[in-house]
Every structure is written in structure tokens, then in C-alpha cells.
Structure 1
Amino acid sequence: MSRAGVLLDRDGTIIIDRGYVGSVDRVEFIPGAIAAIAALNEAGIPVAVVTNQAGVARGYYGIEDVHLVHKHIDEELARRGARIDLWLFCPYHADGVVQAFARASADRKPGPGMGLAAAQALDLDLSASWVVGDSATDIGLAKSVGARPLYVGPPNSADPTVASFPDLAAAVEHILASRNDPVEESGVDRPVGRSRFPAYRFDRADEYGGAYVSELSRAFGTVDLAQVARAADILVDAYQRDAAVFACGNGGSASIANHLQCDHVKGVRNGTDLTTRVFSLSTNVELLSAIANDLGYDQVFEYQLQSMARPGDVLIAVSSSGRSPNIVRALDWAGANGMRTIALTGFEGGPARAMATATVHVDSTNYGIVEDTHQACMHLLAQYVRQSRMTADAVASQTF
């Protein structure tokens, strides 16, 4: 099972920040820092260092110099019975002068990259973990990955919404005292168990783009592939039986339902013996508006199913929140009338998550991320069905 860990900034948290510390002779430990790390080790809490090293991009020192500094720190820690379990650093900066490193990166704090990498390498539950640092970028990292931020340094520089401590030693005392306490000590309003994205304002589109891609990758990783397989089995069975498949959604999810009809009719048929019957309940504005006007918008999908669906058919309901009344009513009617159901959900999942025969759930609180993942899952289901009805040679020779 995933565990809580501590992500530490380097300069200003473990060692004195002298500005671009790129050589061993400039390393000076902050009093109490080594003992604090040893205390975390003793408690069995994984420790990772996540540090921006723009000095590489700016040409002040090289990658090897960073490694030498970290090797020196490791040696000094070992002499005192302490250790760092994982070193992560970002050498990139958009304004760098060294071409290989002169670019934006989602790894650069406050971007989430290094936090997500630490979680994967050390099997961390970020919602139960801490990020400790002396700057707004460290607090931003914590918020971007859903961890608990702790500030160390002068009180006049502290964020009033974040717990503040004079140094790492005091922060670690707090961590050890509160590590089994589920109450948020930072005062930051964040969803438990998932990251908030974006958690801070970006000034550059390329930096936002890198962070967005990282969050999309993280969110896609939360999808239960066993549920995807279950959804695929439902669709293959329906198509083989010549059963009808209906899709529905609101807003951006409506466009996914409409696109699903295209890919699961035209796309699936390419190179196969399938002639699928797939219908989007979100596409006929005349019918939608008539039902909504006369009966209420919460019936726009259920009413169509009552007329067109039969036992053995399938309903695919796409809803980021899983709470839309018309989605819930459609799933309820379908389940009560012999239909198998697939739900694509996000956020907490809402009632739809529990109602469906198979649920492809995306653990994210960003509508764009959820919808992008739903769109990808819609595509992969269509392509899986298509290739499952083709020979190996045909799969290798055709474009998907």
C-alpha cells in the first residue's frame, strides 16, 4: 500500500541558500537539519529531495556538479546516521542560456513533475505526505500534487494559510507529532486523496502546457483498467448480438457521446465484419428541446430510451461529475429495464459511479483533464473492439 513521505526542498531547507550552490565548498548545513532527516529515517518515513537547479540552464554549473554536491551531502548525512532516499532535481529553465536545458518543464517547482516522480519511485500517497520548503514554489508544488505544505524560514515570508516553522527541525517535530492525524494542519482547502489542478497561476503557456500534460498522465494512471476491460467485454458482446448501444452526456460530455457514435460505427467497421448500431442521445436538438420544454431537462435521455431501447441493449453515460440528474435517471431506467450500462465519470464519481455495470472513473477535479481522459478511453474502446475482429496481419497493415 502507498505510504506517507516527506519531500524536502534543498537550498534554504537543508543547506544554507547562498544562491546557485553548484560546488561542494559552498555547502553549509542549516543547524538541526541533519538530525531532523535522521529522525524521519528512524520513524520509517521516506525522504525525497526535490530541488530546482536552474543554475544548470543558466550555465553557472553542470549536471555533474549537481551530482557531486548531492554526493557530498549524502556522505555528510551518513556520518550522522541519516540518509536521503531519493534525489530529484530540475535543471531546466525557460530563460536558460545552455540550449539543452533552456526550456520550460513541468518538473520545475511549482510544477508537479518531481512530486509525481517521487510518489511513483517511493510508492507514496501524496495526499498523506508533506512538502517542506522555504519558498512559494515549494508550497505550490504541495498544492499541485495534493500534499500538505509546510513552510520553513523567516515568519515575515510565510504564507498565512500554511503552517510555518523556523527551520526543518521544528517542521519535522510537527510531522512526527501529527503524522497519524487526518486533520489538515495547513488550513488549505484541497480535496482529500487527489490533487487540485491548477493550484496556482501560470505566467507562461508552455509551463502550463507541461504541467497539464503531467496532470493528464497522472489522472489517466488512476483509471482502473479492469473496468475498461469490463466495458470492452460489454461492447463486444453487444456488437456481436447486434444489440443497440446508446450514448449520452451534457456539455463537453455530449461531444464525447456524439464522437463515440462516429468511432463506434464508422471506425469499428473498418476492416471488420461488424455493422454496429450506435446512437447518441445528445445529438438531436429538436428532440432534446421538445422533451426539455414539455417534460423537463432531467428526462431528455430517459424519455428517448423509453422509446428506442430494448432489454439487452447498452447505455454509455458520460458525466464528469456523475451527478447530472438526466444522467442518473437514464442509468436508473436502463438498469431497471434489462440494459447493461457503462459510466465514464470523474471528480467523486457521483451516483453514476455506483450505478453502472462498469465504471471508467478518472480521479481528477479538472473538467478538461477528465474529459480528455474520457475521450481517450472512448477511442481505445473503439480501437480495441476493431482490432479484436481482425487478423494479426490486418492489424499490422492498417492505420488506426
Structure 2
Amino acid sequence: MSQPGVLLDRDGTIIVDSGYVGSVDRVEFIDGAIAAIAALNRAGVPVAVVTNQAGVARGYYGIADVEQVHKHMIAEMARHGAHVDLWLFCPYHPDGIVEAFARRSADRKPGPGMALAAGEALDLDLSASWVVGDSPADVGLARAVGAKPLHVGPPGSAVMGVDAFPDLAAAVRFILGGDTAPAPEQQKAPKFPAAKFHRADSYGGAYVAELARAFATVDLEQVSRAAKILNAAYDRDSAVFACGNGGSASIANHLQCDHVKGVRNGTGVTTRVQSLSTNVELFSAIANDLGYEHVFEYQLQSQARPGDVLIVISSSGRSPNIVRALDWATAHDMPTIALTGFAGGPARRRAEVSIHVGSANYGVVEDAHQACMHLLAQYVRQSRMTPDAVVSQTF
């Protein structure tokens, strides 16, 4: 019978992440980490370490150095009655300078490779297992294999929507049932930017890092549910309506383009998708005569039918016209999908499917929403093509 297990990140979770730890003299165990692993051992819970070691690809140290570090850690843990059942590491990185390791790999987190290997070697039920780590890549790994992600690290570093703990010891207490996790709604996305930058390249690097962190907070199961709603709507020839304000309006308009033109390309599927944000004459007439809060709801009243789909895009999730449209659609038997950010607001709670981005920066949230919009359209398109057609088409 498969059993639940715990997959642990290494640097920042078990030992201090001082940057590319490739020698024994740089190994410093985090307080309580060895005792936490010993507690898992006593409870009969299999433990695997899954760690990215891009330092090999970047030429900072070699495979033998990683193995020596692990040998040292094994000995030190054994002195305190703890052990790890399986050690896995990924030495690959596409930007590496060591030719043998300078490539992409499904083993590199958030890719699923190491988790799948651990599951097979230790006979784990990954859907009942935990992945514990300090980075968005660990959260991504958990979501890639259906495991439960747990974040460890200082306050403000957590991934929105993921149970967060100060260290591995606290996370293990939760796993073993001796502690409770903080309520997700009490977690706040870290402020970005948190300080002034004096160079655009520095800001650019920080922005990309924040975008990666924020996108890792997206629950991909919600994306899968959204894709099923869209495919089902196209199967029954239902209409899909999209709406948003400001930058979110442009995403709604772009969504119409990708689903009417893009999805049809190579599939022959004709979809009825409409952005409620695009008709300035109708939009402004409703806003002027009835009020801005009615601009989307009023259009739905005239054009939507039960079984049609509503997609709302709202960074705050609080815009009255968005919330009114969601409420009207729900009351009239329309499946609803919301793309939100910040705390998510009423839109996050009221939509049937909520694709939430845990960031408090409008640009980052909108960039992530745009990516979600694109990946949904591309997924729907390729799901209606033959394997040969997918390979031959440009996406």
C-alpha cells in the first residue's frame, strides 16, 4: 500500500542557505531541523530530500562535492538519531557553463522529476504527501504532483495561500498533528517594491523574481477547472463573456482575440466569445445613464443565457461592476471564473473558479493574469488537436 511521505528542500529548510553550499565547511544546520526529521522517523513517515544544485551546472562545485556535503549531513543527523530515506538532487540548469549539465531538466524544481522518483522509490502516495521548502519552486513542485505544499521561512517570505511556518520544526509538528497552520487569509503578500531602486536593471531583476514568486501562488487545479468549464462551453456552443476595468479590460479584450481567432487555428472550432469591456458606445451609454457599476451586468441581462460562461478579471476583486456581474451570472445559472490578485476581494469568494495571484503589485498581478489567459487559450486549443497537429503548429 502506498503511504504518505515528506519531501524536504535542503538549503533554507534543513541547512542555512548561504548561497551555493558546495563544501562541508559551509554546512550549518537550522535549529531544530535534525530533531524534526527524527520526529518524522519515529512516526514512520518516509523522508526524502529533493534539492536543486545549479552550482554544478554553473561550475561552482562538482557532483562529488554535493555527495560529500550529503555524506556529512547523513553523519551529523545519525549522531542525533535522524536519517533521510532518499537523497535526490538536480545538477542541471539551462544557463550553466559546464556543458554536461547546461540544459533543462524535468528534475529541476518546480519540475516534477525528483518527486516522481521519490514516489516510486519509497512507494509514496504523492497526493497524500507534503513538500516542505522555502521557495516558490518548492510550492510549484508540490502542485505539479498533487502534494501539499508547506512553506518555511521568515515572515513576509511566504507564498500566498500556502500554509506557512517559521521553520521545519513547526512544519513537522503540523504534519504530525501537534500544531495548527495559520489561516491563509491572515497571510499578506510581501510589498513590492519595498525600497527605492536606482538602476533599471536591478529593478528588472527584482521584478522578474517577484513575478515568479507571485505566479507560483496560482493554484493550478483552479486553472484546470477553468479549462474544463471553457471546453464544456464550446462543446455545447455556449457563449463566453469576459470583462475587466483598466489594464484588466485589455486582458478581457485579448482573451476574446485568443479564443475566437487562436483556438480556431488548427482546430476549426468556432467559439462565441465576447469582451464586455470593448464596445465604448454601449459601455459609456450604460455608465452615463445607469451608473458605472452596471456596465457589465446590463450587457449580460441582454445577451447572456443560462449555461453561458462569465470570466471576470480584477486585480483587487472589489470593483462593484465586477461583483454585480458575478452575482447576476451566478443567479442565472452561468459558470463563473475570476482572475484576482491582492486579497482577492468578493470576486475571489463568489466565483465558481478562482484563479488567484498572491501579489500586491498591480503590474505583477496583471502580468500573471495575462499569462493565465494565454495558457488557458493554448491549452484549450491543443486539447482539440491531434498529437501530430500539436507538433506541427506554432503556438
How many residues get paired?
A: 352
Distance of 2:90 and 2:193 partners within structure 1: 20
Distance of 1:50 and 1:273 partners within structure 2: 44
Partner of 1:150: 166
CA distances 1:181-205 after superposition (whole Å, capped 9, x unpaired): 4365xxxx97468976869779563
Unmatched runs of 5 consecutive residues or more in structure 1? 132-138, 152-170
Pick aligned residue for 1:374 from 369, 372, 375: 372
Specify whether residues 2 and 27 from structure 1 end up closer, same or farther in structure 2 by C-alpha distance, changes over 3 A only. closer
Structure 1 contact 14–34 (Cα < 8 Å) conserved: no
Structure 1 contact 238–313 (Cα < 8 Å) conserved: no
Partner of 1:161: none
Partner of 1:71: 71
Specify whether residues 89 and 251 from structure 1 end up closer, same or farther in structure 2 by C-alpha distance, changes over 3 A only. farther
CA distances 1:347-381 after superposition (whole Å, capped 9, x unpaired): 5765556666xx44224323236513431254236
Specify whether residues 113 and 140 from structure 1 end up closer, same or farther in structure 2 by C-alpha distance, changes over 3 A only. farther
Specify whether residues 275 and 397 from structure 1 end up closer, same or farther in structure 2 by C-alpha distance, changes over 3 A only. same
Partner of 2:260: 265
Residue identity opposite 2:23 in structure 1: G
Structure 2 contact 286–295 (Cα < 8 Å) conserved: yes
Partner of 1:38: 38
Partner of 2:128: none
Specify whether residues 81 and 221 from structure 1 end up closer, same or farther in structure 2 by C-alpha distance, changes over 3 A only. same
Partner of 2:236: 237
- Mapping of 1:36-185 within 5 angstroms? 37-43=37-43, 61-78=61-78, 80-84=80-84, 111-114=135-138, 116-117=140-141, 123-126=147-150, 130-131=152-153, 139=154, 142-144=157-159, 146=162, 148-150=164-166, 172=169, 176=173, 180-182=178-180, 184=182
Residue identity opposite 1:143 in structure 2: A
The SS at the match of 1:223 is helix
Q: Which has the larger radius of gyration?
A: 1
Q: CA deviation at 1:42?
A: 2.1
Structure 1 contact 219–369 (Cα < 8 Å) conserved: no
Structure 1 contact 7–115 (Cα < 8 Å) conserved: no
CA distances 1:99-138 after superposition (whole Å, capped 9, x unpaired): 9999xx999x975335654786893431xx544xxxxxxx
Partner of 1:285: 280
Structure 1 contact 346–370 (Cα < 8 Å) conserved: no
Structure 1 contact 106–207 (Cα < 8 Å) conserved: no
Distance of 2:169 and 2:388 partners within structure 1: 59
Distance of 2:249 and 2:256 partners within structure 1: 11
Q: CA deviation at 1:298?
A: 0.8
1:246 aligns with 2:205: no
Structure 2 contact 36–172 (Cα < 8 Å) conserved: no
Q: CA deviation at 1:233?
A: 0.8
Q: Could you tell me the TM-score, scaled by structure 2's length? A: 0.63
Residue identity opposite 1:71 in structure 2: K
Pick aligned residue for 1:332 from 327, 334, 337: 327
Distance of 1:384 and 1:86 partners within structure 2: 37
Distance of 2:319 and 2:9 partners within structure 1: 38
Q: Could you tell me the TM-score, scaled by structure 1's length? A: 0.63
Partner of 1:255: 250
Unmatched runs of 5 consecutive residues or more in structure 2? 103-107, 111-132, 360-364
Structure 1 contact 316–341 (Cα < 8 Å) conserved: yes
Distance of 2:92 and 2:194 partners within structure 1: 20
CA distances 1:29-69 after superposition (whole Å, capped 9, x unpaired): 89987556423432467767688979768866423212122
Distance of 1:117 and 1:111 partners within structure 2: 10
Distance of 1:365 and 1:301 partners within structure 2: 26
